[in-house]
Amino acid sequence: MASAIEMAGEVRAHRGGAVDRITAALAAARVTNRLCGAYIELLEEDAVEQARRVDRIVRDPAAPDLPLAGVPVGIKDNICLDRGRTTCGSRMLENYRSAFSATVARRLMEAGAVVIGKTNLDEFAMGSSTEHSAFGPTRNPWDPSRVPGGSSGGSAAAVAAGDIPVALGSDTGGSIRQPASLCGVVGVKPTYGRVSRYGLVAYASSLDQVGPMAGCVADAALVLDVISGEDGLDSTSASRPGESFTADLERPVDGLVIGVPREGRSLSNHPAVASALERAVEVYRSLGATIVEVGLPMTDHGIAAYYVVACAEASSNLARFDGVRYGRRAEVDPGNSIVDLYRRSRSEGFGAEVKRRILLGTHVLSSGYYDAYYLTALRARRRIKEDFDRALGGSGCHVLLMPAAPGPAFVIGEKTDPLALYMEDVYTVGVNLAGLPAVTIPAGFTQGGTERGTARLPVGVQLIGPAWSEARLLRVARMLERELNLPTVAPAMASPTP
């Protein structure tokens, strides 16, 4: 499929209009939705209307160039849009219509992108499989009996299916990078503060970042160019001089030093993950990079620290969904109290995983447990950050290379124990706790394909850099992508598992 860069170039050069492009993307998305449930809502009419507007602009010689002219995009459904619904994959917001668009969505549309749909996610972005959406699971286009990862599984699946070259996801503990790995696409988690969170429905505010998911590194870089930068509507967005992530992308990094954390070579990794990682190491070595072994000794404590911090923040952020200020209101008898109304609305509106996290978060913040859990988790968070500082700064490494997830896509329904699912995030949560940027890129496949019914599944690797090093990180990612040259669109979804 054409990249976003190619598509926008054609629309700008009047070789094919945006309306045709968008009509074709919508047709593809309808099929993907039937097979994979990648979208919660397709914005059929509105998308064609947006495309008409783009076609008018590109015909106007006085209008500025649109970097994403006529490019179809998907937006994770926890990102507000002033059209369609913003559900967060929850019954609670089943009928919620946002009155405004998130800054990231607005910037994409101003750059000429056309939002064709809102993509599926685990309820309120809590999960690693996109099985926990109130509107049904998303399936992996490489093998529809398997999960796409999560929580941005709909965005990952839509890109992997080839409907759209780019989509937005959000990453609080790995929700861009893990599904990118399981669906064989590129995913970027920016430095905390690089991208505005205005209009992103908050899960854990000190960890959340929006970022691109794309079929290639260059498209991800282009989208990051468009969405990043200070926003007066989000005081945590950093004021930094404008920077281009595309300008220098093709230039390899000279004297590259790559740190490979010992902890990323865990024996519990799936063999395909282990071999993709070693292959990536060899590719970089053959390109002249120096490879050094480093340690991230706090890795094993990341999950515990993350789930305490994330649940604590979530319990506070989700308090607004009470059926009065926000969210679906339960029907209660007139004689009932306001507390009954809150209780019923929240019981009916939230799914089991969200309730589990609100309970956990409330518990760790409650008096008597605050020191034992919450403060301990904050201390661990600091130590995790120091681990990264040491591995990156101290050892002189430009980037760290490790898996994005311990295994490839697993079968839907296979991981019933919440803890087994939390372990999917073992390689991703540290990056959020430390506020760092990271990129997942496809790096190989499982064997599969030999026996009937076993599809080849993609696996990715993750590159992690110091804060604000996205430009270099993407160049390093591009070096590997150029050498491996792997397909990022799944082969036709011929016989979906019912």
Q: For 221, how many CA atoms within 13 A lie in the half-sphere containing its CB?
A: 23
Question: Which of 90, 129, 133, 151 is the catalytic position?
Answer: 151
* Of residues 41 and 171, the one with the C-beta less far from ligand GLN: 171
C-alpha–C-alpha distance, residues 482 and 187, integer Å? 16
3-state class of 187 per DSSP? strand
Q: Judged by CB under 6 A, does residue 425 bind ligand GLN? A: yes
**Candidate segments 45-53, 125-133, 285-293, 470-478, binder of ligand GLN by CB under 6 A:** 125-133
Ordered alpha helix ranges (H), 16-142: 18-36, 44-59, 103-110
Total residues interacting with ligand GLN, rule: CB under 6 A:
14
179 near ligand GLN, judged by CB under 6 A = no
* Site residues (CB under 6 A) for ligand GLN, limited to 375-414: none
Among candidates 415, 424, 458, which has minimal Cα distance to 182? Answer: 458
175 binds ligand GLN (CB under 6 A): yes
Please answer whether residues 104 and 76 qualify as being in contact, where contact means their C-beta atoms are separated by less than 8 angstroms.
Answer: no
Contact 496, 412 (CB under 8 A): no
Nearer to ligand GLN (CB atom), residue 47 or residue 200: 200
Residue with the two structure tokens 């468009």: 226
Q: Provide the minimum distance between the beta carbon of 127 and ligand GLN in the complex, in angstroms, as a whole number.
A: 5
What is the three-class DSSP state of 421?
Answer: helix
Handedness of CA 189, 195, 196, 199 (dihedral sign): negative
User: Residue from 7, 125, 183, 214 that binds ligand GLN (CB under 6 A)?
Assistant: 125
- Taking the least distance from each CB to ligand GLN, the nearer of 124 and 284 is 124
What value does the CA radius of gyration of the chain take, rounded to a whole number of Å?
Answer: 21
Annotated active-site residue 239? The verdict is no
Check 3, 98, 133, 175 and give the catalytic one.
Answer: 175
Q: With binding defined as CB under 6 A, does residue 129 bind ligand GLN?
A: no
If binding is defined by CB under 6 A, does position 123 make contact with ligand GLN? no
Site string for ligand GLN, 307-336 (x = CB under 6 A): ---x--------------------------
Pull the structure tokens for residue 492.
């036709």
Residue 151 falls in the annotated catalytic set: yes
Q: Does residue 173 touch ligand GLN according to CB under 6 A?
A: yes
Contact between 435 and ligand GLN per CB under 6 A: no
CA distance 239 to 261: 32
Q: What is the DSSP letter of 402?
A: E
37, 70, 74, 127: residue in contact with ligand GLN (rule CB under 6 A): 127
How far is the C-alpha of 313 from the C-alpha of 422, rounded, in Å? 17
- From the list 20-28, 122-130, 245-253, 270-278, the region that binds ligand GLN by CB under 6 A is 122-130
What is the C-alpha separation between 92 and 84, in angstroms, rounded?
A: 16
- Does the protein bind ligand GLN through residue 128 (CB under 6 A)? yes
Q: Phi and psi (nearest 5°) for 377?
A: -65, -40
In the complex with ligand GLN, which residue's Cβ is closer, 131 or 219? 131
Q: For this structure, is 367 an active site residue?
A: no
Q: How far is the CB of 307 from ligand GLN (least distance, A)?
A: 7
β-bridge pairing 399-403 and 257-261: parallel
Of 198, 203, 284, 427, the residue at the interface with ligand GLN (CB under 6 A) is 203
Nearest to 30 by CA among 22, 46, 45, 42: 42
Q: Applying CB under 6 A, which part among 66-74, 126-134, 224-232, 385-393 lies near ligand GLN? A: 126-134
- Is 263 or 425 the residue whose CB approaches ligand GLN more closely? 425
Q: Which is nearer to ligand GLN, 151 or 237 (CB)?
A: 151
Shortest approach of ligand GLN to residue 280 CB, angstroms? 23
Q: Of residues 152-171, which lie at the interface with ligand GLN (CB under 6 A)? A: 170-171
Asked if 146 and 409 touch (Cβ cutoff 8 Å), the reply is yes
Could you say whether residue 133 binds ligand GLN (CB under 6 A)? no
Torsion sign over Cα 470, 471, 474, 476: negative
- The identity of residue 464, as a single letter, is I
Phi/psi of residue 458, each to 5°? Answer: -75, 150
Which residue has its beta carbon closest to ligand GLN? 175
Residues binding ligand GLN (CB under 6 A): 125-128, 151, 170-175, 203, 310, 425
Catalytic residues: 76, 151, 175
